Amino acid sequence: MSIDVNNESGWEVDEQSVLDVARFALDRMRIHPLSELSVILVDTDAMEQLHIQWMDEPGPTDVMSFPMDELRPGKEGEELPQGLLGDIVLCPEVALKQGKDGGHSMDDELQLLTVHGVLHVLGYDHEEPEEEREMFGLQKRILDDWRAERGLQGPSPAPTTR
């Protein structure tokens, strides 16, 4: 799996954990190992510009996803297609605030947002209540399993992304 993490935010973040949790989520979703993903960390000004341009909403947001080849999770015994998954854009400054509000660290929040972004590039959404239950449940399971495999304490942070 080719995953590039590019920190343009000016914030010090645990880039390795962002990479690791993205790889774990993609493996869990049975995405072809030769597929490619880009994760970019940006400052609030850059995130606000993207948020306005693509969502027509003011202010910075925490995560945005830009799918490319519309790859979907694989099924057992199925030939997996490979391709470009797309880009996930994260904003550490927003993640810091959300983490504080949720009682956890910015890095914990960035890990959650990375999984959230991965699910979005794979076609998941949370516009409708049923979609939200499915996506947020899957997000929690992936993050909890990733944390458990690393011996990290406690459950994953509660979803803050809407």
Mean pLDDT (the chain) is 91
89 within 8 A of 42, measured Cβ to Cβ: yes
Query: What is the C-alpha to C-alpha distance for residues 147 and 128, in angstroms, rounded to an integer?
Result: 28
Query: What is the C-alpha to C-alpha distance for residues 160 and 4, in angstroms, rounded to an integer?
Result: 25
pLDDT tens-place string over residues 55-106: 999 999 999 999 998 778 777 777 777 889 999 999 999 999 999 999 999 9
Provide long-range contacts, Cβ within 8 A and 24+ apart, for 50-56: 50/89
Query: What is the C-alpha to C-alpha distance for residues 122 and 160, in angstroms, rounded to an integer?
Result: 19
Q: Is 38 left (phi over 0), alpha (psi -120 to 50) or beta?
A: beta
**pTM score > 0.85 for this model?**
yes
**Segment 16-44 mean pLDDT:** 95
pLDDT tens-place string over residues 113-127: 999 999 999 999 999
**Mind listing the domains of the chain with CATH numbers?**
2-149 (3.40.390.30)
How many Å separate Cα 102 from the centre of its chain? 17
Identify any residues that bridge with 36 across adjacent strands, giving them in sequence order.
2, 84
Query: What is the C-alpha to C-alpha distance for residues 27 and 96, in angstroms, rounded to an integer?
Result: 27
